[in-house]
Chain A
Amino acid sequence: MLPFTYSRPRNIGEAATAGAQPGTEFIAGGTDLLPLLKEGVRRANRLVDINDLPLGGIRHEAAGVRLGALTRMSDAADDERLRRDYPAVVEALLAGASPQLRNLATVGGNLLQHTRCLYFHDAAMPCNKRQPGSGCPAWDGQNRGNAILGGSRACIATHASDLAVALVALEARVVLGARHGEREVPLADFHRLPGDTPQIETVLEPGEVITAIFVPAAPYSRRSTYVKLRDRASFEWALTSAAAALDLAGDTIRQARVAVGGVATKPWRLPKVEEALAGARADRSIFHAAAELAAQGAEPRQFNAFKVELMKRAIVRALADAGSLA
């Protein structure tokens, strides 16, 4: 851990200016960042604490819900309307981390949490994401937790967030604040594929802050669900997960939204699966057939090949669960 300076700006402008300096990290709940700093995985000599920025609060509007970036995961999970109108979001929140962590962790920080790739976390190991050009030992190493979708030879680290999977299925947008105003980016375009530059994880510009997450109210939002699979019952990231949302007319699917987690280098929406479902009957055989399409382009490695099958089954389960919601 390097010695660092600490500042606590009161408005976005100050935060953006401070955050744009090299060697700076924003800190919100700190649940992701602090362990990384201590282990020398992230190296910062300036910490900019954003907790004094006016970025809290949950606002329900006709068009959707706006979650301030500093909303604690537990507060979002406890929000009755969120639970009623966007159940997948609350299920993903409650399936993440532990109650203690959720009390501290923010939803903005959750989208920006770092991968759980074992090699990224051991500062003594090569890792292209941590140290560009040093190599990717996960490719031929302990890669059970790594991605089968969206990877490159340089990096197969998964994006670890549960919340982001539910949000990307519900077509959420991320609101970004900078010195001169705000812009909105679809969450699906917010994270970048690793390609040759796995160290660049998002489209955030230096100094830019996530100010809010906006989830549109859509016909499928209420009939949405999140299925998470892991080795222990709590306090663990997803080995594989699936979010599904259905807009039904009787037992015909008007439209569907499907995304998966624990298997891809970013929160992974599955448009082909969604297309196959649109207009079809909501039954298991259709779900199975559609889920088959999820694995197109999958590139499993030695210890994560099982995820191809597991992912399909998780999608089927999520669709079935969503279909049976009242």
Chain B
Amino acid sequence: MSGSVGQPIDRVDGPAKVGGKARYAADFRPSGVVYGAIVTAAIAKGRIAALDTTAAEAIPGVISVIHHGNAPQLAYAPMDPRPIVDPKTGEALRVFQNDQVLFAGQPIALVVAEEPEQAIQAAALVRASYAVGNAASDFSHASLEARPPEESRHPGGKPGALRRGDADAAFAAATRRVDASYEQPAEFHCAIELHGTIARWDHDHLTLWDKTQWVDNDRTEMAHVFGIPDDNVRVISPFVGGAFGSALRSWPHVAAAALASLLVNRPVELVLTRRQQFSSVGYRPRTVQRVRLGADDNGRLTAVIHEAVAQTSAYEEYAEMVIEPPAMLYSTPTLRADYRLAPMNVNTPCPMRAPGIVTGTLALELAMDELAEACDLDPLRLRLLNYAERDENKNLPWSSKSLRQCYAIGAERFGWSRRPSAPASRRDGHWLVGYGMASAVYPAHRAPATAHAELRADGTASVTSAASDMGPGTYTSMTQVAADELGLPINAVQFELGDSLMPPAPVHGGSMTMASVGSAVQAACRALRAKALDLEHPNRLPQDRGAMQQAYARLLARHRLDCLTAETEAMPDDAAGRFSMYAFGAVFAEVRVDAELGEIRVPRLLGVYAAGRIVNPKTARSQCIGGMVGGLGMALTERGQWDDRFGKIMNASLADYLVPVNADVQSIEALFVPEEDPWVNPLGVKGVGEIALVGVAPAILNAIHNATGRRIRSLPATLEKVMGC
């Protein structure tokens, strides 16, 4: 029986999406639904002195204007332990519970009306006056008071410091040195689907149709907000139109929609505006990183010093693993890495594709390119010289690592040997041409997950788990795993997700859905098949997939069963304590820079990834090229344009916050190195969602240096920076 795992199967949900049948949160229409529109704070810090809602209430169709002056106090029961998607310290924002303003764009009122246009019009008429406080809006200023994350003091908290040997002394003694600072602006997820929630109460039961990457946690958080049992809340989210991390947490607007529904006693739909996406849900925090690398004359690292400062909000500490890559990507006898947070009057940042890892790798890989120049070495050669044969951070062997193969195949395919050896030495008409490369890395996580599998009377199977599919192809890959285990053709298996009534699944983030939910689907289907085999002698079951469906149907009929079910929880074993588990990759970029006008184009991008087993090369490739396009945006166009005076992002629209468009993307290729990893999880997968973003921006910036001789140390690399004016 040839497996479907490993085959480039078309998306099973493709026709539904293309045909407009896939329903996203705001597509549901519970009867009697009314519409909310949020009013946001115009100041970054202070108190609401007065809210005048008279004009808003006079708009025809307006049902209610909800704000701190009339909202009930909600339970907001603490969650213990906190879900992994919430910061470990601080207090999540509570909607309409007091008069405090903590950041510009904070929801301060919600208008509910019969029609969305009425709500929007009325929201613009709510007049707030404020007692204005002294906001912390200047990042450089806030950085001066940055401190290690509070959570670093607790077990499991992200570290504020990593040490190996005396890095400062080793750096001082090094004969080749790099000392540079790199700046990254706040970046925004910009998924096409706007965040939206529909809330409906039936007595003391709450149903939410929500854009979320984790229905189970959304349920639990809302149960805590309203002080009701988890079982009284149901969250439905069958399709997510891109999220990239922005829908991991339950943001305040979710509670606001539920509160409004409670108060007006109707289902309430609340969709954030595009502008509100920039202040009501999180973003990748602004970061500055100083990196010092010391090496001997042969290019062997002797010291890595990495100091990162990132912004967080004034009410929560959002911490990331920025200092993990410098601690494990290369072999170094000494290391000092420090990570500090600068609180500001902003909404709390949140994970955005490859959180922390992409940030730390960016600075490290830019610095490695500078070190290659300082050592007069080819950048790829420098990386090979400092190849880490084991994880020196965790002091563990790798479960598998095929980075060398990624480098070799990438260099071959890309034609790395034709890299201009001196900066600014190759010209084609107006264009300066350069090559650059960088390494990529992302940890392979896994969490417990449960799946339910069922054989139906007609011999087809249905499998469920409360997972999510924000685009990578969860529906498809899970169907493949289930089909293989049950010996059924793809079209005889239906996988369903996105409902908190289904068996629990972990968060759809951190590239661990395939590893976690996939393992559960595999285990449940295996158990189900075993049950079937218990009923029937194995010899009587066919090898052929088409025949298998009939065989199951006959079997159920013979035993007078409507269905046969199995439910299994798949738990990570102790391998993570014995091995360090990461996916690795190598990214190569060709860049062209207009010698006079500074315009930058990227004609070629190649990513080569070793990420364990690839369940579906087609969806995996799509995911990778999507991630690489994200990296292109990070390198060249994306940034929040922050105004210190108002404490807000000014380019809060898709016309002004620039993500790459088709014309920016020319040749882009993702390849996978075959890799077997017996330790990561039963499927042997590591996940590709995040790693595809890592390494792209530094490869491009390194190529810009190769093309022009100019080091750009602050993102994005815009034309005035390459022109140096």
Contacts and interface: CB of A to CB of B under 8 A. Distances in A.
Partners in one complex: yes
Interface string B464-496: 000000000000000000000000000000000
A314 B120 CA distance: 43
Given A122-B650, A310-B598, A317-B597, A137 B645 contact: yes
A39 interface: yes
Interface in A87-143: 98, 116, 118-119, 121-125, 137, 140-142
A40 B124 CA distance: 8
A61 interface: no
Given A2-B121, A137-B645, A231-B658, A309 B725 contact: yes
Contacts of B121: 1-3
Nearest to B650: A118
Contact of B653 (A121, A125, A309, A316): A121
Interface residues of A, number: 38
Interface in A274-294: none
B12 interface: no
A310 B720 contact: yes
Interface stretch (B131-139, B320-328, B659-667, B679-687): B659-667
B656 A121 contact: yes
Interface residues of B, number: 37
B597 A235 contact: no
A252 to B, nearest CB: 24
B720 A233 contact: no
A6 interface: no
B120 A232 contact: no
B117 interface: yes
Contact of B596 (A2, A38, A141, A316): A316
B597 A233 contact: no
B597 A313 contact: yes
Contact of B663 (A2, A142, A144, A233): A233
B103 to A, nearest CB: 14
B376 to A, nearest CB: 33
Contact of A116 (B643, B645, B655): B655
A80 B663 CA distance: 24
A125 B716 CA distance: 26
A231 B719 contact: yes
A17 interface: no
A239 B719 contact: yes
Contacts of A306: 719-720, 723, 725
A310 B718 contact: no
Interface string A301-321: 000011001100110110000
Interface in B627-668: 636-637, 641-643, 645-646, 650-653, 655-656, 658, 660-664
A131 to B, nearest CB: 13
B42 interface: yes
Interface string A36-51: 0011100000000000
Contact of A232 (B124, B643, B661, B720): B661
B275 interface: yes
Query: Which of A1, A38, A40, A122 counts the most B-chain CB atoms under 10 A from its CB?
Result: A122
B643 A142 contact: yes
B669 interface: no
A157 B637 CA distance: 21
Given A141-B650, A313-B596, A231 B718 contact: yes
B597 A310 contact: yes
B137 to A, nearest CB: 12
A234 interface: yes
Contacts of B536: none
B599 interface: yes
B597 A142 contact: no
A144 B597 CA distance: 16
A251 interface: no
B645 A233 contact: no
Contacts of A52: none
A137 B643 contact: yes
Contacts of B664: 232-234
Interface string B93-128: 000000000000000000000000100110010000
Nearest to B652: A122
B645 A310 contact: no
Contacts of A235: 661, 663
A236 interface: yes
Contacts of A233: 601, 661, 663-664
Interface of B: 40, 42, 117, 120-121, 124, 275, 596-599, 601, 636-637, 641-643, 645-646, 650-653, 655-656, 658, 660-664, 716, 718-720, 723, 725
19 contacts: A1-B117, A39-B275, A118-B656, A119-B650, A122-B275, A137-B645, A140-B645, A231-B637, A231-B658, A231-B716, A232-B661, A232-B663, A232-B664, A233-B601, A233-B661, A234-B664, A235-B663, A310-B723, A316-B596
Given A116-B656, A122-B650, 6 more contacts: A98-B661, A118-B641, A125-B646, A137-B646, A140-B645, A232-B636
Q: Which 9 A-B pairs have the closest CB atoms?
A: A306-B720, A234-B663, A233-B663, A118-B650, A142-B641, A142-B650, A306-B725, A309-B725, A235-B661
